[in-house]
Amino acid sequence: MSTILESNASDMREPNEKPKKRRGMFVLRFTVPMAVLALTGSIAGIFFDAPYSEETENWVAQAVAQDLVNLVAFLTLAGLAILAIRGSLRAYLAWLGVVAYSAYTYAIYAFAMHFGPLFLIHVAGFGMSIYALIVGLARIDYELVKRTFTGRVPRRSVAWLLLTIGAFFYVLWLGSVVPSLMANETPEEIVKAGLLTNPVHVLDMAVLLPAMLLAGFFLLHHRAFGYVLAPLVLGATFTISLGIVVLQPVLDARGQAPAWGVGGVIAIVALVELGALIRLLRAIPPQTPLSDALR
């Protein structure tokens, strides 16, 4: 008798649980307008002069390089969203990383570009990226995600990689900023770009690098949030790094001096980040459904 009652109770719960899990995936629908806006804005920036007509030559080259990366990034975002909707937890965690990249990139577009024809696209892209990231993280049960990592997890190696890269870029950016502050001068890259400040310095030192260090710390100490934050940060930084790599041939094509050495080093860092992301996600069994990790 008790077995029958338990079976009936289970049957009664199922219909309520499924819609709840489906609602948890609603955030993936942000992908459609985000991708459409990003691809539209990037194509306009690549093929037309008007969007960046007020910018310096150096800043135009950086914007065009970012637009080229966006074509790949947002098509990838759409592909990951499709896989996540079909139930892939791996794809969902990777999707969060590209959304974080989108928030980072559109913060630069929205705040560091002159007012122009793409302004509303940049504002909308920034806003949707922020909300998609917040909702996407809020829908995950971090403890459940941690339990899905049942394979051979490269926890310590990925954690130390994140800590090392985060510390390295802090030293690199501070090495550029502090001497300029002490000499009461503006860093050369800010002058070339015609900006008030370097938005990369701001976003990296205020947001991205602290997130990277926290991800490394949490993962090293086996904290649940680290298993979500680490793939997010790796996915975001890999995609951001592509912009620096692509910038070098764009500068060369536009008659400016590329920094091939910097591009080469960042390309290596990007490949290492991608390898770490793949190794980390492979520790999740491929058959693990996304619904098992949603609140």
Could you report the per-residue pLDDT of 46-80, keeping only the tens digit for each? 999 999 999 999 999 999 999 999 999 999 999 99
Amino acid code (one letter) for 14: E
Could you report the per-residue pLDDT of 188-218, keeping only the tens digit for each? 889 888 889 999 999 999 999 999 999 999 9
Which structure tokens are listed for 20? 């709840």
Residue 159 near residue 230 (C-beta atoms within 8 A): yes
Measured distance CA(149)–CA(146) in Å, rounded: 6
Please say if the pLDDT value at position 15 is more than 80: no
Q: What is the mean pLDDT of the chain?
A: 91
Residue 243 near residue 227 (C-beta atoms within 8 A): no
Other beta carbons within 10 angstroms of residue 215's beta carbon come to 26
pLDDT at 218: 97
Measured distance CA(182)–CA(140) in Å, rounded: 45
pLDDT at 216: 98
pLDDT at 25: 78
Helices (H) and strands (E) in the chain, counts: 12, 0
- 23/294: higher pLDDT: 294
Please say if the pLDDT value at position 95 is more than 80: yes
pLDDT band at 11 (very low <50, low <70, confident <90, very high): very low
pLDDT band at 44 (very low <50, low <70, confident <90, very high): very high
pLDDT at 6: 37
Q: Where are the domains of the chain?
A: 2-293
pLDDT band at 26 (very low <50, low <70, confident <90, very high): confident
Instruction: Return the residue matching tokens 């770009």.
Output: 193
| 155-182 and 209-220 helices, crossing angle to 10° | 150
Q: Which of 231, 293, 223, 284 is nearest to 101 (CA)?
A: 231
Q: Which of 65, 21, 24 is nearest to 42 (CA)?
A: 65
pLDDT at 18: 52
Please say if the pLDDT value at position 241 is more than 80: yes
Could you report the per-residue pLDDT of 110-142, keeping only the tens digit for each? 999 999 999 999 999 999 999 999 999 999 999
pLDDT at 22: 58
pLDDT at 236: 98
pLDDT band at 19 (very low <50, low <70, confident <90, very high): low
Find the mean pLDDT for residues 242-248: 97
